[in-house]
Structure 1
Amino acid sequence: MGIIYCEKDRTFTLQTKETTYQMQVDQYGFLLHLYYGKKAEGCMDYLLTYYDRGFSGNPYDAGTDRTYSMDALPQELSCYGNGDFRSASLMLENGDGSMSCDMRYKSYTIRDGKYSLPGLPAVYADNDEAQTLEIVLEDPATGVEAMLLYGVLPELDIITRSVYVRNQSSEKIYVNKVMSAELDFLYGDYDLLTFYGRHAMERNLQRVPVAHGSQMIGSVRGTSSHQYNPMMILAEKDTTEDHGGCYAMSFVYSGNFQGEVLKDQYNQTRMLLGVQEECFRYPLEAGETFYAPEVILSYTDQGMNRLSQNLHSCIRHHICRGKYKTEVRPVLVNSWEAAYFDFTGETLYNLAKEARSLGIDMLVLDDGWFGKRDDDNSGLGDWYVNEKKLGETLGGLVKRVNDLGVKFGIWIEPEMISEDSDLYREHPDWALTIPGRKPVRSRNQLVLDFSRKEVVDGIFGQISAVLDNANIEYVKWDMNRSLMDVFSVMTKDQGRVMYDYVLGLYDFLDRMVNRYPDLLIEGCSGGGGRFDAGMLYYTPQIWCSDNSDAIDRLRIQYGTSFGYPVSAMGAHVSAVPNHQTGRITPLHTRGVVAMSGTFGYELDLLKLTEEEKDEVRSQIGEFRKYAPLIQNGRYYRLTDPFKSEVCAWEIVGNSQEEVLLNVVMEEIHGNMTVNYVQLRGLDESALYKDQTTGRIYSGAALMHGGMPLPAEFGEYRAYQYHFVRE
């Protein structure tokens, strides 16, 4: 199928539809990386060269051969302490305190299907869709093993990678660093694409040349973070959206991470992605195993649009699970920007009535429904309904709303605790704090120690009691601060707490998914602070950003699209002036931007004019018409909103039968010049009919001639063109 072992050359070759990945066990038992790129045949070990490299050590096995050095050879799992002075994938602290490991080949297994990881999210696939390669390496001096896992999904041009570390020695050891994936390139001049940001302005694209030394991104915040996304791209210099070679790494993990690209003294490039080594020192007693999270790899020589589509397809069909994996999501209105903390059951019921009249499917009750919670200074951890504030039970309110024909959802923040809460007064030790030190507050709240099972059990019991007593069909899971004061009273090895915290989070989410299989969960961390493939395994959509300004969202959603599908992006129409920027944009424009996401509303419907209500009804009708295409089609970036006065993107049906072209004018000038947008991904020989004007165009004309855009007065105008093949 996709994995071939050649005994003669001792090579492992992973073949996908359009790519080849090859490695070799050499004469000393080192597992060397030979090639990853466009599909190729034959043994590629001729690419390796051997010279006497000054100050590059030689393994003892090589005897007097000074031409053999791990400091210059491409590897699958580089180790600290075996002569490679570059950033390593694996760093172990042995029972005697030494910092060294030297992993050599021991055995392999090939089997149908895709491996899974205990307690961790991972790509899944049927036995006829994927194969797994397991390669066991061993340190002869200690007996410690590293098992490399490769999952191959040939039709998607996807390869996944993970690592187990097994302590087969007789003493306790520490894993001080483990990178889940490593790519070594013998040559090449590359650019590195990363996605930086801040709260309310996430995933801005940065493209910089790979220079000598290390370029690093990462997070020590306990989440994947607003500041850097755990996905990066290595691209050849001339690579564009539609042409050129590029590689992607995407981390299936939601906690601290580290991504690094370095160019060494010999102009070789190494790309690494895994758990953040800072504040990480994971103990392994004799016989114990550490499981590293998974990385998704993909390569194409057809540009970054194709690379993104590979990742989109993998995440949409092999990461996301459950009822809403491919199903169109309900159109919802969230109460936050409509009411903030100021609501009653009756005001919510009136909002639901208005929602029903406009064709909205669901009302979501945001923060403030529980405990003593009239602002963000108290109540977190007390997950019981504030019936005095609602004026009724939550179950009663939900039933009244359901009787209108409107679904109901709620907001929760299970990982947090307020010092002013019943839970904190009863269990102050459940919060992450360092004995003898005052904690660092953020948003006036602390973080619960989810590395402890009893804490996860306690909060899960509270949340499930709420969900069991009302017909809740949607949950927005929020997380509104970074981790600090990371100390658990339950362990002496504090270097494991950050990692175990994420395992506790995944355990909680897995219980929710299994107990409530029809529940739609939306991930959130101050918007896009935990937007990663790991969360999407449990929550098929994530609130893309707390910034709902349509023009800022063009850039946020553009950057997000490099690694994640439209179906994963929580996007809503909000009020103007926008609550984050003060900007005023047309309602139509806000709708067009939000449609390239899960689509919904974040405003007070009762304050809309009759004209605006008619436009909302029209928007919802348009969205329902386009939703299957938006959810499952192929996404193309047509312009760069950071550089162009036009932001244009396109979604094409998988059989090229229809296309939705979306355009927003970011700038307007006097005596405006005409902009032309060239479409992508159509059948050049087919004819396409504009569903608004009735005009017919050839696919070749739309792709190579393009569409002229109106030069109209007015800021931030938006246009949608829907073409269907004749």
Structure 2
Amino acid sequence: MSGAEHGRWTLRGAHTEYTVTLPAHGRWLELHAWGPHGVGEGPSPVAYDGPVPFLTAGDAAPVEYATDADRPFTGADLVVETESGNRRVGFGFVEAAHDPDGGALAVTFADPVTGLRAVLRYAVPAGTDVVRRWVELTNTGTGPLRLVRAGSAGFCVPTPHGALLSHQWGQWAQEFQLDHVDLGHGAFTIGSSQGVPGHLHVPWLAVRDRAEPDGSTWGVSVAWTGSWEITAERDTGGLTRVRAGRRLADGPLELPAGAELTLPEVAGAYSTDGLDGLARVWHRYQRLLAGERLTPRPVLYNSWEATYFDVDADSQLALARIAADLGVETFVVDDGWFLGRVDDTTGLGDWTPDPAGFPDGFDAFIAEVRGLGLRFGLWVEPECVSPRSRLYAEHPDWVYAVEGRPLTPIRNQYLLDLGRPEVAEFVHGTIDGLLRRYDIGYLKWDFNRPRTEPGRAGGEKPVDLDGAHVANLHRIYERLRRDHPEVLIESCAGGGGRTDLAMAARADIFWPSDNTAPLDRLAIQHGFLHANAPHLLSSWVTDAPGIFDPRPRSLAFRFVLAMAGVLGIGADIRHWTPEQRAEAAGWIARYKEIREVVTHGEVHLVGGPDQARCAVQYTSPDRRTVVVLAWHTGRSDGPGLLPSRPVRLPLRGLDADGTYRHGDRRYSGAHLTAVGLPVGWTPTHDADLVVLHRA
């Protein structure tokens, strides 16, 4: 043992600490305390050594990583079978390595019967309040092992008055819907079996004690771009334990003798300031993941909703000229640019520009776009293939398949088995070739179907299809970013179906939803910003009516909404009036003035789309500039016509004694915090952008 006395280790974050201990029996690690600095100086709020009738000691203990021998009844993180079908792997402590200055801890356990060795790894990146956790498994025995459950971590949260869980559910066009569950007893589970994080749930969960919903808040997020699962279970003693990691949708994982396997990373976060404070913890961490690529994103135009599949040089250039006049900086050609792509039934896999649409050549077309002062961007969906394509005709064995069973088409396409080396090389070579051949500065990488077939053509022995696909996807992203560092990559999966911490470390931007309608999108972005930083939020101004909330909203509302992250336009701007174009140019100019603060600023979520007040506050790192984006969420035909007072938006993080100026108006920090920034709505004024400067 090294790095701690009596088997106790503490990892310190910017404002938090995470302390684990090794009990005398040495069979597992236990959480001692997780919270603000100093929280571990006292009795553990989660420890328990009392009676456990009809249970085992491990079932009630705050175990950090449990096998089914440790927690046979209340939920194990790891379940392993031997070749004969026996279970109950039991670990014993081997050694620990602690680097308190570097924020790292590695604790090794081993099972003397099977030879399974597990290294529990912890890391707290400097300047954050996030604890990263993952497990490295090695089969040092002589026989093969099967992993029936392969979670990455258990997080223990004290909830003596009941657990209040916050999660995000959804479907296509309705992602990131924030909801809450009052968990008195029992279990709550979310996850995906689709081979991607999916639209149904976000790999993110927040836990609070029911009696203090605005106080201490713990969060868990899975950094895995495949199938995943998070389960929260509250026991009768007031402890809520959250298990997180992979969901083995295709069955057990094989671990032959001598083999190693690293399980996905999961992250835990803590804040003293409720869900709003927890969001800022995640934002700081994702900005760290972005590293040097964390720069204000260019204003973009995307042609999809204007032309759909009817893509040719003339129509695209007509849009690009108007976009350039508006102040747009990147022009993205969406689906429909490649050979045979007249609709969604053909073309995927044959990534050659259509000469009929670009008779002077794709190079010449891009040069004209670039000549307008615009960066050029392109849509691709390289993991999928159309049944009516040259690629599928030549390589039908490249798609996921179960021998003897028909394939399942979704959106008239099949899914390539990216885990096959030759497929991964084809996908990488295709995208790399496009980026080398053409002057492309922005890539929208889409993924429009889940994996349905749990098999590989050719009847090969069982393989970890999910793990292989995700690993190669991540490698391709990393290679592209290394070789083309100037290219921004947007991750899309039919909207927000592929958003997780692993992609946040590899993609520059997320497309959160195909639904761009104003009030629908307001709810989507409200949820998104609870789990993701603004630099990841791509948002367009379009002409789309509401799907779930059709109440009309102004062009100003749509622009202020899209400014909450990375501003884009997806409307058919050819049909905008001169007045609309002038208004749009004005909003784009204003966005360019504030996007540095939106990208780097501290975010406070004020109210919500289901409340009378709904805004997002961004405070610059030097605390001298405050940007407030506010929206009217109610009916548009009443405000300003009857007696009423302005809506007040309470701001946060201001200097109470400071003075803040907005045009000719001056406010004290105390006023803005205690009373709130006033905004008034009328039938023609349903959104506002307010920039306050510290006087």
Note if contact 1:101-1:139 (Cα within 8 Å) is conserved in structure 2: yes
Residue 600 (structure 1) shift: 1.1
Q: Which residue of 2 aligns with 1:462?
A: 430
Note if contact 2:96-2:106 (Cα within 8 Å) is conserved in structure 1: yes
Q: Which residue of 1 aligns with 2:625?
A: 658
Q: Which residue of 2 aligns with 1:723?
A: 692
CA distance in 2, matches of 1:523, 1:228: 17
CA distance in 1, matches of 2:551, 2:306: 17
Aligned residue runs from structure 1 range 153-552, under 5 A: 153=125, 155-185=127-157, 188=160, 189-240=162-213, 243-317=214-288, 319-322=289-292, 325-489=293-457, 492-494=460-462, 496-552=464-520
CA distance in 1, matches of 2:587, 2:459: 54
Q: Which residue of 1 aligns with 2:658?
A: 686
Q: Which amino acid aligns with 1:26?
A: P
CA distance in 2, matches of 1:432, 1:254: 18
Q: 1:33 to 1:495 in 2, by over 3 A?
A: farther
Q: Which amino acid aligns with 2:374?
A: V
CA distance in 1, matches of 2:70, 2:153: 19
Q: 1:580 to 1:398 in 2, by over 3 A?
A: farther
Partner of 2:464, secondary structure, is helix
Q: Which residue of 2 aligns with 1:105?
A: 93
CA distance in 2, matches of 1:651, 1:94: 54
Q: Which residue of 2 aligns with 1:115?
A: none
Note if contact 1:592-1:718 (Cα within 8 Å) is conserved in structure 2: yes
Please give the per-residue CA displacement for 1:292-314, whole angstroms capped at 9, x wherever unaligned.
Answer: 11112111222222211111011
- Equivalent in 152, 156, 159 of residue 124 of structure 2: 152
Q: Which amino acid aligns with 2:199?
A: H
Please give the per-residue CA displacement for 1:331-361, whole angstroms capped at 9, x wherever unaligned.
Answer: 1110101111112112212221112222111
Q: Which amino acid aligns with 1:379?
A: G
Q: Which residue of 2 aligns with 1:88?
A: 76
Residue 182 (structure 1) shift: 0.8
- Equivalent in 3, 22, 25 of residue 28 of structure 1: 25
Q: Which residue of 2 aligns with 1:699?
A: 669
CA distance in 1, matches of 2:208, 2:51: 31
Residue 636 (structure 1) shift: 0.7
Q: 1:331 to 1:187 in 2, by over 3 A?
A: closer
Please give the per-residue CA displacement for 1:27-67, whole angstroms capped at 9, x wherever unaligned.
Answer: 2112222221232244746964433422224xxxxxxxxxx
Q: 1:549 to 1:256 in 2, by over 3 A?
A: same
Please give the per-residue CA displacement for 1:465-515, whole angstroms capped at 9, x wherever unaligned.
Answer: 222111000000000111101211367454611221111211221221122
Partner of 2:479, secondary structure, is helix
Q: 1:492 to 1:135 in 2, by over 3 A?
A: farther
Q: Which residue of 2 aligns with 1:56?
A: 55
CA distance in 2, matches of 1:582, 1:49: 53
Note if contact 2:517-2:545 (Cα within 8 Å) is conserved in structure 1: no
Q: Which amino acid aligns with 1:104?
A: G
Q: Report whether the alignment pairs 1:667 with 2:634.
A: yes
Q: 1:278 to 1:245 in 2, by over 3 A?
A: same
Q: 1:49 to 1:718 in 2, by over 3 A?
A: closer
CA distance in 1, matches of 2:350, 2:490: 21
Partner of 1:79, secondary structure, is coil
CA distance in 1, matches of 2:159, 2:545: 52
Q: 1:260 to 1:47 in 2, by over 3 A?
A: closer
Note if contact 2:133-2:265 (Cα within 8 Å) is conserved in structure 1: yes
Q: Which residue of 2 aligns with 1:645?
A: 612
CA distance in 2, matches of 1:679, 1:399: 46
Please give the per-residue CA displacement for 1:385-444, whole angstroms capped at 9, x wherever unaligned.
Answer: 112222232112111211221111100001101100000000001011211111121111
Residue 713 (structure 1) shift: 2.7
Note if contact 1:646-1:667 (Cα within 8 Å) is conserved in structure 2: no
Deviates most, 165-174 or 264-273: 264-273
How many residues are treated as equivalent by the alignment? 687
CA distance in 2, matches of 1:291, 1:386: 43
Partner of 1:388, secondary structure, is coil
Q: Which residue of 2 aligns with 1:65?
A: none
Q: 1:584 to 1:386 in 2, by over 3 A?
A: same
Residue 577 (structure 1) shift: 4.2
Q: 1:579 to 1:228 in 2, by over 3 A?
A: closer
Q: Which amino acid aligns with 1:145?
A: R
Q: 1:684 to 1:490 in 2, by over 3 A?
A: farther
Note if contact 1:672-1:711 (Cα within 8 Å) is conserved in structure 2: no
CA distance in 1, matches of 2:169, 2:332: 30
Residue 105 (structure 1) shift: 1.2
Please give the per-residue CA displacement for 1:241-269, whole angstroms capped at 9, x wherever unaligned.
Answer: xx401001111111111000002244432
Q: 1:581 to 1:74 in 2, by over 3 A?
A: closer
Partner of 1:599, secondary structure, is strand
Q: Which residue of 2 aligns with 1:18?
A: 15
Partner of 1:571, secondary structure, is strand
Partner of 1:202, secondary structure, is coil
Identity of aligned residues (%): 29
Identify unmatched segments of 5+ residues in structure 1: 58-68, 113-127
Note if contact 1:312-1:564 (Cα within 8 Å) is conserved in structure 2: yes
Q: 1:155 to 1:491 in 2, by over 3 A?
A: farther
Q: 1:576 to 1:171 in 2, by over 3 A?
A: closer
Q: 1:707 to 1:45 in 2, by over 3 A?
A: closer
Aligned residue runs from structure 1 range 557-596, under 5 A: 557-577=525-545, 584-596=552-564
Q: 1:139 to 1:689 in 2, by over 3 A?
A: same
Q: Which amino acid aligns with 1:216?
A: T
Note if contact 2:11-2:103 (Cα within 8 Å) is conserved in structure 1: no
CA distance in 2, matches of 1:625, 1:29: 57
Q: 1:82 to 1:679 in 2, by over 3 A?
A: closer
CA distance in 1, matches of 2:352, 2:531: 38
CA distance in 2, matches of 1:195, 1:652: 26
Identify unmatched segments of 5+ residues in structure 2: none
Q: 1:672 to 1:634 in 2, by over 3 A?
A: farther
Q: Report whether the alignment pairs 1:713 with 2:680.
A: no
Please give the per-residue CA displacement for 1:211-258, whole angstroms capped at 9, x wherever unaligned.
Answer: 322100000011101110001100122445xx4010011111111110
Q: Normalising by structure 2, what TM-score?
A: 0.95
Q: Which amino acid aligns with 1:232?
A: L
Partner of 1:459, secondary structure, is helix
Q: Which amino acid aligns with 1:699?
A: G
Report the aligned-residue RMSD. Answer: 2.1
Note if contact 2:46-2:62 (Cα within 8 Å) is conserved in structure 1: no
Q: 1:220 to 1:545 in 2, by over 3 A?
A: same
CA distance in 1, matches of 2:125, 2:301: 38
Deviates most, 599-608 or 91-100: 91-100
Please give the per-residue CA displacement for 1:569-595, whole angstroms capped at 9, x wherever unaligned.
Answer: 010111254689765321111000000
Q: Which amino acid aligns with 2:398?
A: W
CA distance in 1, matches of 2:13, 2:478: 31
Q: 1:168 to 1:684 in 2, by over 3 A?
A: same
Q: 1:221 to 1:44 in 2, by over 3 A?
A: same
Partner of 1:392, secondary structure, is coil
